[in-house]
């Protein structure tokens, strides 16, 4: 039973309290998680809301999807399960980018060998 909702296209000024109050109109809200940037602490423009029952979640989707909130039309749908990623190793960042040799050959930054 999927009861967790994805709520997207939020204004960056929307608060968890506003979302709680809005979704409480259709049922019992178990939790509200407004996703924020780790560095700045500002909203990323989406949230996850967990409703207490499947019926309430479906009602929230039908009532609030594409409805305006603070000048933006909400996108409400069932949340997808979180994808599992393998643990990240220290050298993984180097695998996708340029190797040291490629950086040297591109001629960017630092002293050149003649």
Q: Which CATH number fits domain 4-78: 3.40.710.10, 3.30.420.10, 3.30.70.330, 3.10.290.10?
A: 3.30.70.330
Higher-pLDDT residue of 36 and 86 is: 36
Higher-pLDDT residue of 61 and 2 is: 61
Residue 37 has pLDDT above 80, yes or no: yes
**Would you call 49 helix, strand, or coil by DSSP?**
strand
Residue 41 has pLDDT above 60, yes or no: yes
Query: CA nearest 18: which of 78, 79, 70?
Result: 70
pLDDT in tens, 58-107: 999 999 999 999 999 999 999 988 888 888 776 655 555 555 555 555 55
Nearest-angstrom CA–CA distance, 106 and 46: 39
What are the boundaries of each domain within the chain?
Answer: 4-78
């Amino acid at each position: 039973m999927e009861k967790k909702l994805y709520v997207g296209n939020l204004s960056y000024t929307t608060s968890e309290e506003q979302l709680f109050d809005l979704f409480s109109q259709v049922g019992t809200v178990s939790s509200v998680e407004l996703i924020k940037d780790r560095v700045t602490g500002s909203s990323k423009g989406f949230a996850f809301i967990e409703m207490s029952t499947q019926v309430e979640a479906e009602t929230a989707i039908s009532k609030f999807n594409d409805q305006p909130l603070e000048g933006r039309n909400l996108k409400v749908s069932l949340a997808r399960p979180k994808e599992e990623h393998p643990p990240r190793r220290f050298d993984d960042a180097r695998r996708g980018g340029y190797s040291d040799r490629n950086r040297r050959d591109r001629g960017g930054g630092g002293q050149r060998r003649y």
